[in-house]
Amino acid sequence: MSADPKSAGPPTHEHRSLGVKIYTYPKIIFIWPTLVMALICGLGMWAIQDELRDPRHLAADARRASADAVLIPPAAGETGTAARPPIRRFTSWQNLLGILFLMVFAVNIMVMAIDFPRFTIFAVLLTALAVTFFLLWLGVFFDLLTPLTNFAEGIYAVANSGFYLMIALILGVMFMIVAGTRFLDFWEILPNEILHHHGPLSDLERFPTMNLKFDKEIPDVLEYIMGLGAGRLVLHVGNERKAIVLDNVLWIDDKERRLKNLMGRLEVRVTTDQEMTE
């Protein structure tokens, strides 16, 4: 429903300065922790000169090389393998970087795929604490550390710096595309009307602000924390059957405060012939 052009007229700069611009974003913006972690892991692998070799294989090669050399008899009471330290590949830098990247990526995907309301977050935290204390209690009677250590040592996930930096580059390009396209589709709420700008040629839809009501919703607490206070705005426009739902609005609390201040005033403007000409 559009407003009467004679009564609305082209808003002046002062009139537009009172408005609130609202941009919606796709869920891809919540993957920024993966982008940051890809940069960190890429720089970390570059610092260790892209060391990808398995420490166990390196130790085996060293033992084979020493077997070809002249063997020196061990001292009395000392065997050839007693002083040999255990090979830990899980705690190697290349593996720790790979595991950390995969963990952040997995949590990121889970946050984007599933909504976590407030009560769900509390339930997940309580369940995690209960499982942790249960495992600690079992550890008093059973040796749980050795199986966990053996399982961890069987994990070896590494990638070179080029892989991590290419992931960061791809996500960075996606973020730039999202930032550029946001100006092709956004909402502008003025004291007397609601403007919907969309399309490459700036198509415009107008809605009246008379009897306007809005609701703020936070469907996912983790997205609210990760996405710079992201949430949902639901606009109930008078004489419109369907509500206007705006998902993934950043800084939702600030938008709510500005909308409350905006709804507190209703401007009555008289459009002059000069403004109509301009």
Gap between the Cα atoms of 199 and 168, Å rounded? 29
Distance CA 160, CA 158 (A): 7
Highest mean pLDDT, choosing among 55-64, 143-152, 165-174, 178-187: 165-174
* Model pLDDT, residue 143: 67
Spatial strand order in the sheet of 185-189: 20-23, 185-189, 193-198, 203-208
Work out the percent of the chain whose per-residue pLDDT is above 90.
Answer: 17
pLDDT of residue 7: 44
- What are the boundaries of each domain within the chain? 5-28+184-277, 30-179
Quick one: how far is CA 156 from the chain centroid?
A: 26
Contact 189, 263 (CB under 8 A): no
For 29, phi and psi rounded to 5 degrees? -65, -20
What CATH number was assigned to the domain covering residues 5-28+184-277? Answer: 2.30.29.30
Mean pLDDT, the chain, as a whole number? 76
DSSP string, 92-151: SHHHHHHHHHHHHHHHHHHHHHS---HHHHHHHHHHHHHHHHHHHHHHHHS--HHHHHHH
Whether residue 137 has pLDDT greater than 70: no
Q: Choose between 265 and 40: higher pLDDT.
A: 40
Q: How far is the C-alpha of 56 from the C-alpha of 78, rounded, in Å?
A: 23
